[in-house]
């Protein structure tokens, strides 16, 4: 499933410069529910195949997401997908039900080794520090640069929020990843500065954790997971009110559903290079 007449690197340049189509700006986040036992692996493989058939070439995952990373690797191998960009993360791991942070050089190298094996790849297109503080970014930068020099990692980034993204931009990272949608635009400024410098900006939660879905109650385990995650992030009531107001405005957009209009806001607003759904 190669991209006809175009290389992935050329498409990435288009994403950063803003010349790409809407589909080229969409990525697939293989995350929490996709790595859970209640989410059938065959279903995930089918979704990944459908995404690739639809033009999606960017996939993101992390060791923190249960078996999601392993499942993504198996799916890409079984599909025989080519010209695919895969990013993953390091620094945050699960210890039972707890999230444990470790951005030491040894931990990062262990994560990279495990990711390469699990994904079945010779190198990682992008490696993100997963939720670091600014001081942890500084401590991790030497090993990240070493991994780039060794050819194990092509690009380095930071997935986080607030000061961490500002610090990543100031430190010369290749990509930043953070929440950005029509309701939550707290990273508008750093995304704008990053685009001006040619740094890739990756929007997560572009649909605000399903805030614009029509159903009033979760209909599946994955719906319940998204609802729980949105609630855990805090400010659930204010976000719900904001979603209602935004939905009313988005409903006025001709030929698009509120969800479609919300996604178009992220993809066509010029601030996000890529939106992970």
Q: What is the DSSP string of 124-168?
A: EEEEEEES--HHHHHHHHHHHHHHHHHTSEEEEEEE--THHHHHH
Which CATH number is 48's domain given? 3.20.20.100
pLDDT over 70 percentage in the chain:
75
* Distance, CA of 66 to CA of 223 (rounded, Å): 18
Question: Looking at 34-38, 50-54, 96-100, 163-167, which range is the least confident one?
Answer: 96-100
User: Is 251 a residue whose pLDDT tops 80?
Assistant: no
Residue 122's SS3 state is coil
Highest mean pLDDT: which range of 16-20, 34-38, 217-221: 34-38
CB-based contact 188:271 (threshold 8 Å): yes
Does 125 fall in a domain?
yes
Q: Is residue 229 part of a domain?
A: no
Count of all residues that appear for the chain in the document: 277
126: Cα separation from own chain's centroid: 11
- What would the mean pLDDT of 34-51 be, rounded to a whole number? 96
Number of structural domains in the chain: 1
Q: Is residue 81 part of a domain?
A: yes
Provide the residue range defining the domain that includes 98: 8-209+255-276
Reported as a pLDDT band with limits 50, 70 and 90, residue 260 is confident
Tell whether 271 is covered by a domain: yes
Radius of gyration for the alpha carbons in the chain, expressed in angstroms and rounded:
18
Residue 34 has pLDDT above 60, yes or no: yes
Q: How many CB atoms are located within 10 Å of the residue 122 CB?
A: 8
Nearest to residue 179, comparing CAs of 276, 94, 269?
Answer: 276
Model confidence at 95, in pLDDT bands (50, 70, 90)?
A: confident
Q: Is residue 107 part of a domain?
A: yes
| Domain annotation covers residue 69 | yes
Q: What is the pLDDT of residues 236-246, one digit of tens each?
A: 555 555 555 55
**What does the pLDDT read at residue 18?**
43
Is 3 contained in some domain?
no
In a domain, 224, yes or no: no
């Amino acid at each position: 499933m190669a991209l006809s007449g175009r290389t992935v690197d050329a498409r990435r340049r288009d994403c950063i410069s803003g010349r790409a189509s809407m589909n080229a700006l969409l990525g697939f986040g293989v995350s929490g529910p996709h790595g859970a036992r209640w989410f059938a692996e065959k279903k995930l493989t089918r979704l990944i195949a459908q995404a690739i058939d639809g033009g999606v070439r960017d996939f993101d995952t992390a060791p923190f997401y249960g078996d999601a990373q392993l499942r993504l690797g198996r799916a890409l191998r079984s599909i025989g997908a080519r010209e695919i960009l895969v990013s993953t993360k390091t620094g945050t791991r699960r210890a039972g039900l707890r999230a444990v942070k470790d951005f030491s050089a040894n931990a990062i190298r262990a994560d990279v080794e495990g990711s390469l094996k699990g994904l079945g790849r010779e190198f990682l297109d992008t490696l993100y520090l997963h939720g670091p503080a600014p001081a942890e970014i500084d401590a991790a930068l030497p090993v990240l640069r070493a991994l780039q020099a060794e050819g194990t990692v092509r690009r380095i980034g930071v997935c986080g929020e607030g000061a961490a993204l500002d610090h990543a931009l100031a430190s010369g990272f290749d990509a930043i990843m953070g929440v950005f949608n029509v309701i939550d635009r707290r990273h508008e400024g750093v995304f704008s500065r990053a685009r001006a410098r040619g740094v890739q900006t990756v929007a997560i939660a572009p649909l605000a954790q399903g805030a614009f879905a029509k159903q009033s109650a979760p209909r599946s385990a994955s719906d319940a997971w998204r609802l729980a995650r949105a609630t855990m992030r805090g400010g659930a009531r204010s976000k719900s009110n904001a979603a209602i107001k935004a939905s009313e405005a988005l409903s006025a957009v001709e030929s698009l559903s509120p969800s479609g209009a919300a996604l178009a806001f992220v993809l066509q607003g010029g601030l996000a290079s890529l939106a992970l759904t």
